[in-house]
Amino acid sequence: MSRFIRDYVRERWVILAPRRGERPLQFSENLKYRPKGNPRSCPFCPGNEHQTPPEVFVIPGEGGNSDWKVRVVPNKYPIVEGEEGVHWVIIETPDHYATVGNMPHQQVLMILKTYRERLLALKERFPYAMVFKNRGPEGGASLSHPHSQLIALRLIPDAVRREMEVYQRGCPICLLLEREGDGANLVFSSENFVVLCPSFSAFPFEVWIVPRQHLPSFEESPDEILEELARVYKRTMAALDRAVDFPSFNMLLRSRPFSSNSDYHWRMEIAPRLTKPAGFEWGTEVAVNILEPGRAAEILRRHLE
């Protein structure tokens, strides 16, 4: 039976419709992530640094110019530029074929520290910024080399403003942890983080990484929190890749706008793109999820290491 679920974080409806996917794991092969391209010609691979704009930040290795751990460069085809904002590409690793799930822990930690450093670098210049990661064809990635992006804007998007209004009635993320932090939708937890598939998931295998503490801003995270988050993020992505055979996905790092003193609770949202929204979804702005979140969490738990 289908049923309506209210997403009380973002004030929208989701329909859980398991009969729409009688075999929810038999997703189309063309929706999966498969590394493509040749490292010799990939603009993000070592030795091809001249193919990108000059870097704005780098974590160097021990060798020369082509020995680096993480690079940040301006996007050659930016969504915003100049007074409207900043659009950077975060090249997460020199390894063309790596994934977060199979990277060394220290590499994932360097990525998270780069997110923090770059957000802090923009905090006084713009009211809002978001880090996000697109992987695979349905995730919107144009290159398969592991990378994420950061966009800062001169304004706060309406969707973010609407979510912030919800906090005037209390923190919806703390409510989520209270309701679902130790139930059937839990994937796993650590000392400071809870990983779960929210009851109002809009996508099959949608999974959130949520700090247990009510913390508004990711960029204020100390090193010890990022150390733990690196392990949690890596373990989550490894389980997802094993469970669904490397899906295309979008990762959103949601943090409080720089210019706001509003209440907020930061988190990471990972949304696999295993189904395509069609006319109904576009016309009503109601998401349709063909996989019960509790079932998704159960499958992910079986693929944890």
Confidence of residue 78 (pLDDT cuts 50, 70, 90): very high
Let me know if 189 is exposed, middle or buried by CB neighbors in 10 A (0-12, 13-18, 19+).
middle
End-to-end CA distance of the chain: 33
CB 168 within 8 A of CB 103: no
Q: List the single range of 34-43, 55-64, 198-207 with lowest mean pLDDT.
A: 34-43
Q: Residue 42's Cα: distance from chain center in Å?
A: 23
pLDDT at residue 277, rounded to an integer = 82
**Domains parsed from the chain with CATH numbers:** 12-20+27-302 (3.30.428.10)
Does residue 157 have a pLDDT over 90?
yes
pLDDT at residue 136, rounded to an integer = 84
Q: Which element (helix H / strand E) includes 114?
A: helix 105-122
Q: What is the mean pLDDT of residues 260-289?
A: 92
- The residue with tokens 């210049």 is 125
Confidence of residue 24 (pLDDT cuts 50, 70, 90): very low
Does residue 279 have a pLDDT over 90?
yes
Q: List the single range of 209-218, 228-237, 246-255, 274-283 with lowest mean pLDDT.
A: 274-283
Q: What is the mean pLDDT of residues 193-198?
A: 98
CB 42 within 8 A of CB 145: yes
Does residue 175 have a pLDDT over 70?
yes
Across the strands, what pairs with 268? 209, 253
Q: Whole-model pTM?
A: 0.94
Confidence of residue 35 (pLDDT cuts 50, 70, 90): confident
Confidence of residue 21 (pLDDT cuts 50, 70, 90): low
Strand order in the sheet with 57-60: 57-60, 68-74, 85-91, 147-153, 128-135, 249-254, 267-272, 207-211, 193-196, 186-189
pLDDT at residue 32, rounded to an integer = 65
Q: What is the mean pLDDT of residues 254-274?
A: 96
CB 259 within 8 A of CB 224: no
pLDDT in tens, 79-134: 999 999 999 999 999 999 999 999 999 999 999 999 999 999 999 999 999 999 99
Q: What is the mean pLDDT of residues 51-67?
A: 88
Quote the CA–CA distance of 12 and 127 in Å, as a whole number: 25
Q: C-alpha distances in angstroms, 206 versus 68, 173, 203, 215?
A: 32, 16, 5, 22
pLDDT at residue 29, rounded to an integer = 54
* pLDDT above 70 coverage of the chain, percent: 95
Mean pLDDT over the full length of the chain: 93
pLDDT at residue 108, rounded to an integer = 98
Instruction: Tally DSSP H helices, then E strands, for the chain.
Output: 6, 13
Q: What is the mean pLDDT of residues 16-24?
A: 70
